[in-house]
Every structure is written in structure tokens, then in C-alpha cells.
Amino acid sequence: MLHADAISRYKQVVVSTSTPGELLLALYGGLFSYLRQARLLIENKQRGKAAERISHARAIVVELELALDHDVHPELCANLSALYGFCLDRLRLATREDSTEALDEVVRVLTPLQQAWKMAVPKATAEQGRLDSPRRR
């Protein structure tokens, strides 16, 4: 139990000290991890455990969708919302029919987004650091 408490405290510290971009990358990392696990579990006929992993993946996609700020970038958010909706539909299908193909579709459509964020987040963080640092004279 002590080990579980330490892990929980560590996760709380990570979340509270991470930038929004780092949290976004962590969400995508967790999402893809759950999708890989679910695929393997479906292939191994472990339906209950697969459904649990898919449920975790769905929760992450829902969080990604809820985090969209439609006031700032309405067109981009509408497109991402539609994409996330598609992914949620595929995840429901994967659970209902034990479909690895549906999981593969989610991976296929979200991989380019993850790759783009992996490039954009460090650049944005570096740029923010330059803006936050005092100017030298």
C-alpha cells in the first residue's frame, strides 16, 4: 500500500508541475498505451480487460475533447471535436464487437496529431521561455 501511495503522490506532483503541453503529450502517450494494450487483450480473448483499457482510452479522448477552447479557434476545435467524436464511435465499436480494426482506425487518425504535438509542444515551450525571460541590455 505504501508503494501505491508513493506512486499516487508522484503523479500528483507531475500533474501540478507540468505545462499544459506536457500534460497533452502525457494524455496522448497514455491513450496510445491503452490502445496497444486493448489490442493485445482482444487478440488474446481477454474481453473484460480489453474493455477496461478501452474505457480508459475513451476517458482520455473525452478529456481531450472537453479541453478544446472553441472561443479561441472555433474552426480548428470543430474539426478536432469531429475527429474525437469519430474516435469515440470507433472505441464503442471496439468494445461491442472486440474489433481490433476499430482500434487501429483510432491509432491511424490520432497518430498524426500526436506527432504534430510532439513537435509543437517543445517549440512552444522554448518560445514561452524566451518571452518569460528578462531582456538583456
Alpha carbon 39 to chain centroid, angstroms: 17
Predicted pLDDT of residue 57 = 98
Question: Stretch 79-83: mean pLDDT, rounded?
Answer: 97
Predicted pLDDT of residue 19 = 86
Q: Given a cut of 80, is residue 1 above it in pLDDT? A: no
Tens-place pLDDT, residues 36-70: 999 999 999 999 999 999 999 999 999 999 999 99
Q: Given a cut of 90, is residue 128 above it in pLDDT? A: no
Looking at domain 19-119, what is its CATH homologous superfamily? Flagellar protein FliS (1.20.120.340)
Amino acid (1-letter code) at residue 96: R
Tens-place pLDDT, residues 87-114: 999 999 999 999 999 999 999 999 999 9
Predicted pLDDT of residue 126 = 80
Question: Stretch 117-123: mean pLDDT, rounded?
Answer: 90
Residue with cell 474525437: 84
Q: What is the CA radius of gyration of the chain?
A: 18
Helices (H), 44-73: 47-66
Q: Given a cut of 60, is residue 14 above it in pLDDT? A: no
Measured CA to CA in angstroms, residue 43 lies from 48, 50, 108 at distances of: 12, 9, 18
Element housing 112 (H / E): helix 100-132
Mean pLDDT, the chain, rounded, equals 88
